[in-house]
Amino acid sequence: MPTKKRPRRNNRAKTKTQHEPAPGGTSGGAGERAGKIQVRMFRVGFGDCFLLTLPTAQGPRYILVDCGVHSKGNIKLEGTSLLEKAFDNIAQVTGKKLSIVIATHPHQDHISGFGSFAKQFGEFSISEVWMPWTEDPDDPQAKSLHDKRTTLVSRLQAHFAALGMSEDIGPAAAVANMAGNAPAFQALHSGFGVGAKVRYFKAGDLAKEPAGIQGLNVSILGPPTDQKFLAQMDPPANDHYLRLRGGDTGGAGMVEPFDRQQWSFAKEDPSLAWPELPEAYKKELRSRANSAVDELAFALDQCVNNCSIVALLSYQGLNLLFPGDAQYGNWESWVKSSGSASLLSGVSFYKVAHHGSVNANPKEALEKMPDAKFAAMMSTQSRPWPSIPAPGLLPALDRKTGKQWVRSDAIAISGAPSAPAGTVVPPVFQEGDFWFDYFVG
């Protein structure tokens, strides 16, 4: 990690210095940075919200990549959710004009804002809305994946609720992230009701000059559509753990881990002289069943992450990689291909995948990125998952970027988790009230 300490600011001081950028979106760098691509990473808590400003001959054009926060990682400043403040800033900076809205994948921490602010987005001019092909309602395979996922999510929710498990706990938090996204989907699929063109993308697609932005080309690297990928996207094989106990009392809503016919018997039946299992053994069986359900929750969560659009935006000779929360299954589909080295070696900017989790930032991909020639931004915090960001990833980012990377939780917010003491922000990143700006190139 960098060595120079950055000053801590308190929120009251922030309020006094709070400023809003003029439409045109070059707050903190107007003039001197004119002509450069600007990436604004908002600190929203646990979630992603990135606003890109592309300079064009016709004036700035704006691309919004995700707008969401996890309900258990949502943080507030002076009583207002940072995501709401981010939305207000986006409206002001863009003059309510967005060329492209990208919803990388259907997780609350990436799309909740599209639902919460659907009405307000309906006052925007939006040219295009992008989603992964796995959300295409006209694609039979996508629909099948979607239906299975919906069923499993509701069963897992019922299971954890019956256990009394708080949504602050890992597997329950993972399931919560997949639930409650209907309002966002509705807004996205309807093009926010403003006539935006809704497009679904798969690996191999190329969007040439989308939304009429001359010179912009977007290569879509994920999610793939091949059989291997689809097998990974299918609910895991142990979905038999998810039989719901029907019409029962006491455990209603609980997942039944064992087959009822084979393993149930009437206690009062004298012909069944089954020995009573020792308490310790029963406890072990129970914990095994529960851990299998926990694993299923995490596996399903990973399936959804792997549905992420991985977009490589090329503009003005610069390449910006936005992989959403793609985890290894998604990366693997293209990073082993012969063309991946030339793609990755030309990266100028990298949005760290999945908030800095270890298997969303595979070593073989990072190693193909150019040494000390790109910057990276990571939207992260340690709540609700203390394992994120992965400590092992941080030295690798230091080395690969030449210490030109920044984490969103370096912006101190009272009561919110913060980056470790001693974390510094390299001067190429300009700190706003609750965001960092980076000018690419």
Contact positions vs Zn ion (CB under 5 A): 109, 325
Measured from the CB atom, is 136 or 325 closer to Zn ion? 325
- Nearer residue to Zn ion within complex by CB, 105 or 202: 105
The residue among 414, 425, 352, 396 whose CA lies nearest residue 7 is 425
Comparing CB distances to Zn ion, the nearer of 11 and 359 is 359
Which residue's CB is nearer to Zn ion, number 48 or number 256? 48
The minimum distance between CB 108 and Zn ion, in angstroms, equals 9
Measured CA to CA in angstroms, residue 177 lies from 239, 329, 376 at distances of 19, 20, 25
Q: How far is the CB of 392 from Zn ion (least distance, A)?
A: 19
- What is the Cα–Cα distance from 26 to 241, expressed in whole angstroms? 52
- Indicate the SS3 state at residue 348: coil
Considering the complex, what minimum distance in angstroms separates the CB of residue 193 from Zn ion? 26
CB of 210 to Zn ion, least distance (A): 24
Give the span between the Cα atoms of 243 and 294, in whole angstroms. Answer: 15
| Neighbour-count burial for 268-300, b at 16+ CB within 10 Å, e otherwise | eeeeeeeeeeeeeeeeeeeeebbebbbebbebb
What's the closest the beta carbon of residue 284 comes to Zn ion, in angstroms? Answer: 34
Alpha carbon distance 7, 212 (integer Å): 42
Cβ proximity to Zn ion: between 127 and 308 the closer is: 308
| Beta-bridge mates of residue 375 | 349
Query: Between residues 122 and 417, which has the closer beta carbon with respect to Zn ion?
Result: 417
Write the single-letter amino acid at 248: D
Q: Shortest Cβ distance from residue 405 to Zn ion (Å)?
A: 18
Min CB(66)–Zn ion separation in Å: 8
Q: Residue 253: is it exposed, middle or buried by C-beta count within 10 angstroms (0-12/13-18/19+)? A: middle
- Nearest distance from residue 357's CB to Zn ion, in Å? 9
DSSP string of 356-393, one letter each residue: G-GGGS-HHHHTTSPTTS-EEEE---SSS-TT-S-TTH
Based on CB atoms, which residue is closest to Zn ion, 294 or 325? Answer: 325
Nearer to Zn ion, 37 or 102 (CB): 102
For 111-146, letters b (16+ CB in 10 Å) and e give bbbbbbbbebbeebebbbbbbbbbbbeebeebeebb
Which position has the token pair 């909740």? 112
